[in-house]
Structure 1
Amino acid sequence: MSASVSKIVLITGANQGIGFEIAKSLSSKPGYHVLLGSRNAQRGIDAAKKLQEKGLEVEPIIIDVTSDESLATATKQVTSKFGRLDVLINNAGICLNDEETFSGPALRAAYHDTFAANTFGAALTTEAFVPLLSASPTPRIVFISSTTGSLANDSNFPAFLPIYRSSKSALNMILVHYATKYKAKGWKVNASCPGHCGTNLNKFEGKNTPESGAVNAVRLAMLGEDGETGTFSNSEGTIPW
């Protein structure tokens, strides 16, 4: 790690898609060192290598947000090597695109698996890294959410993906909790919607690129002291709750 590095960033689910683009963008900024999170060790190594070959400050870290053991191991590694975390980006998530075909036990399993990754995983990852974020002079947390989880915008969408959308609505409440809890301490905690980007999450059917989806998350990760907190936004501005 370069001696000039001043910000340590952890991005979950960063071996592909929007997470990878966030990692690429932030690691290209002066003073940012990115921990590229991945459930699969080899995929994380391969993704990090692509950025390392460009001379970027990136290293892989194994982290499965649905596993308490994995979270404990990851926090120990970050504690041992850095002693703090400046930016946490909760990007890992899933979308079962055929979720509306499920019924009975399969439907229960779909709700369980989606919330375990998208909602509980983000909440428990944040809680696990709070001590390390507390050791930073400028803590930043970004939750990757979705406009489709906006209750105010519900009438603007057809009836689809109820499991995924409800997991993101719940995620927004978790964001509000942490933003409120740490506002007085100067933390910046926000949610970003990347837009409908073509990634493995949606079988690459999105109309936008992962690069464009990373832009607002990177902005929120780099907020200064006068930056916002407790907001839900995309590249065009604030999204109604």
Structure 2
Amino acid sequence: MYKMETKVAVVTGGNRGIGFEIVKGLCAKFDGAVYLTARNEEKGRQAVKKLEENGLKPSFHVLDVTIEESVQKFAEYISTHHTGIDVLVNNAGILDFDKPFSCYDDAKKLIDTNFFSLLTISKILYPILKNDARIINISSDWGLLSNIRKQVWLDTLNKDDLTLDEILQFVNEFLEAAKSGKNSFMTFAGPYGDYKVSKVAMSALTFVQQREFREQGKDVAINCVHPGFVKTDMTMEMGDFTPERGARGPLYLALEAPQSLKGTFVWHDGHQVNWDD
């Protein structure tokens, strides 16, 4: 089958909120195909229809980042129709804003979606990235290292030679704490600890993977971004920014930032911040 030479941008969880606005912005300014992906096909196609009514032309594909088979099917589709991915926005994520303290099962589900899914994406989608691709991880100010309360992890996660195995130890130790109840949960990361751990782990993974890309001689740029406190369904419509404003930082990294900007934590206004402050 003939493969289209057009550039390709992919947004996970693109059917609503910040993800939808990122797709919208990419459709308006990105010179190539823009894939709005969602785990729910009906909601995804409704989102595409809404954009089409505004004169935009996104493509759609089902993608559940928590299911390896779904990620594999998407990768096979992209590999069949295109020469690779130029922009990948890892936006899919969940948060129960009404539950500052989760039970173990809820914490595991959140971390599976917000963090462990990135490992599946890394394994399956990273091999089809273009050499100068851009990866944007949607993090949070809760993804700053200072959100963690255990000194051993403040020290470990800040190492220049941090490894994926150490990040996994960090996440799994938190999940064990979640099994032990509210007090252990609080000691580790405080209220919304599962979300904080998932985003801190995402941030740490960003830096580790950038180092790996560099060691492999690839020009891939991977950064994480705090979009601001955005009014979405996930935040129960509380926040400082509209989803459109929240998309500004991610779109800057996708479209405007210099390729030399690599392995950083970027604030919603585009400036770099020290992750470990």
TM-score, scaled relative to structure 2: 0.77
Q: CA deviation at 1:226?
A: 4.2
For 1:68 and 1:176, the matched residues in 2 are separated by 24
In the alignment, which residue of structure 1 is the partner of 2:38?
38
What one-letter code is carried by the residue in structure 2 that aligns with 1:114?
L
Between 9-18 and 80-89, report the one with greater CA deviation. 80-89
Tell me by how many angstroms 1:98 deviates.
3.3
SS of 2:29's equivalent in the other structure is coil
Identity of aligned residues (%): 31
Gaps of 5+ in 1: none
Residue pair 1:5, 1:31 contacting (<8 A) in 2 also: no
Q: 1:41 to 1:226 in 2, by over 3 A?
A: closer
Q: Report if the CA contact (8 A) 2:210-2:262 is conserved.
A: yes
Q: What displacement does 1:123 show?
A: 2.6
Query: Number of matched residues?
Result: 230
| Maintained 8 Å contact 2:115/2:201 | yes
Q: Name the SS of the counterpart of 1:10 in structure 2.
A: strand
Bigger shift: residues 121-130 or 35-44 = 121-130
Larger Rg: 2
Instruction: Find the aligned partners of 1:163 and 1:121 in 2 and give their Cα distance.
Output: 15
Q: Is the 8 A contact 1:88 1:141 kept in 2?
A: yes
Alignment of 1:87-236 (within 5 A): 87-102=87-102, 107-133=103-129, 136-152=130-146, 159-183=190-214, 184-223=217-256, 226-236=259-269
Residues in 2 aligned to 1:142 and 1:130: alpha-carbon distance in whole angstroms: 13
Residue of structure 1 equivalent to 2:179: none
Cα shift at 1:207: 1.9
Instruction: State the shift of 1:54 in Å.
Output: 2.6
Against the structure 1 CA distance between its residues 163 and 80, is the aligned structure 2 distance closer, same or farther, given a 3 Å change threshold?
same
Q: Any idea what SS the aligned residue of 1:222 has?
A: helix
Where does residue 62 of structure 2 map in the other structure? 62
1:138/1:97 Cα in 2 relative to 1: closer, same or farther (>3 Å)? same
Residues 98 and 32 (structure 1), Cα distance of their counterparts in 2 relative to 1, 3 Å cut = same
Alpha-carbon separation, structure 2, partners of 1:205 and 1:5: 42
Residues 5, 32 of structure 1: 8 Å contact kept: no
- After superposition, the CA RMSD in angstroms is 2.1
CA deviations on 1:53-81 (whole Å, 9 max, x unpaired) are 33323011100011011111111111111
> Residue 14 of structure 2 contacts residue 36 of structure 2 at CA under 8 Å; is this kept in 1?
yes
Post-superposition offset of 1:18: 0.1
The letter of the residue matching 2:100 is E
How far apart are the structure 1 equivalents of 2:193 and 2:28?
37
CA contact (8 A) 1:8 1:87 kept: yes
CA 1:234–1:37: 2 relative to 1, 3 Å: same
Query: Which ranges of structure 2 fall in alignment gaps of 5 or more residues?
Result: 150-188
Cα distance change, pair 153–118 in 1 and its aligned pair in 2 (3 A): closer
Quick one: structure 1 residues 153 and 69, their matched pair in 2 at CA, closer, same or farther if it must change by over 3 Å?
A: closer
- Does structure 2 conserve the Cα–Cα contact (< 8 Å) formed by 1:172 and 1:191? yes
Give me the whole-angstrom Cα distance separating, in 1, the residues matched to 2:132 and 2:23: 19
Q: Deviations over 1:89-115 (max 9, x none)?
A: 00000012233344xxxx110221011
Give the distance between the partners of 1:224 and 1:234, measured in 2 at CA.
13
Amino acid paired to 1:56:
L
CA distance in 1, matches of 2:72, 2:266: 31
